């Protein structure tokens, strides 16, 4: 998961790296961190929604209706 913020990562594929990092995460909190990094990188809302959806299936996910933007 730490590869998301690695300098020299190909900029054109950063969206793929964020989604892959979210899928590789073991907890919802790790996915939230990936979501925050993706948001800071300027990813569009539809993409942030995909990252958040991955987090909903991870241990520690917030119950439906309590989400604060990320997983």
Contact 62, 29 (CB under 8 A): no
- For residues 25 and 19, give the distance between their C-alpha atoms in angstroms, rounded to a whole number: 10
Predicted pLDDT of residue 1: 46
State phi, psi for 20 to the nearest 5 degrees.
-65, -40
**Rounded CA Rg of the chain:** 11
Question: Hey, what are 51's tokens?
Answer: 């990252």
pLDDT single digits (tens) 2-40:
455 444 444 445 667 999 999 999 999 999 999 999 999
């Amino acid at each position: 998961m730490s590869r998301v913020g690695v300098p020299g990562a190909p900029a054109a594929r950063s969206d793929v790296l964020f989604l892959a990092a979210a899928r590789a995460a073991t907890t919802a909190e790790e996915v939230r961190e990936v979501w925050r990094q993706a948001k800071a990188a300027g990813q569009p809302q539809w993409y942030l929604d995909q990252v958040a959806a991955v987090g909903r299936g991870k241990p520690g996910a917030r119950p439906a209706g309590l989400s604060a933007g990320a997983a």
